[in-house]
Amino acid sequence: MDYQNYYEAMIEILVDNFDTDIGEYNGKIELSVDEYNDSCSIAKKFNVAYNPEHTVLEVLHLSTPDVAEITSYLVSAPALGCLIDYLEDELIVDFED
């Protein structure tokens, strides 16, 4: 998987869900099936924590819709933000502050 391309695509999506007043991501974000699957793969591979009780993967799995044909997922922006922060903190991707 190309983590850099994934990271750059997710940053574009997340930018609208960042609250500069509190310095956190908020709300829900719609991801394509591929974006969702990539997010889950990365969360699983690196076992990224969402909070002390849950992993990012567990939070992402809460987004699974109950429909026959899934075309997109509505996911937690804070969970996706945790995943992006992890990629930055562990220097898996190149980024500018």
In a domain, 54, yes or no: yes
Parallel, antiparallel or unpaired: strands 18-19 and 24-25:
antiparallel
> Residues 35, 5, 82, 19: is their CA dihedral positive or negative?
negative
- Residue 94 maps to a domain: no
Report if pTM > 0.75: yes
**Is 46 within a domain?**
yes
32, 33, 34, 40: CA torsion to nearest 10: 110
Tally of domains within the chain: 1
In a domain, 27, yes or no: yes
Q: What is the DSSP code (8-state) at residue 62?
A: T
State the average pLDDT over residues 69-88.
92
- Decide if 43 contacts 31 (C-beta within 8 A): no
pLDDT at site 97? 61
**Structural domain harbouring 31:** 3-89
What's the confidence (pLDDT) of residue 24? 83
User: DSSP character for 89?
Assistant: H
What is the pLDDT, as a whole number, of residue 50?
Answer: 96
Residue 11: alpha-carbon gap to chain centroid: 9
Phi, psi of 16 (to 5 degrees): -75, -10
Scan for tokens 């719609």, then name that residue. Answer: 30
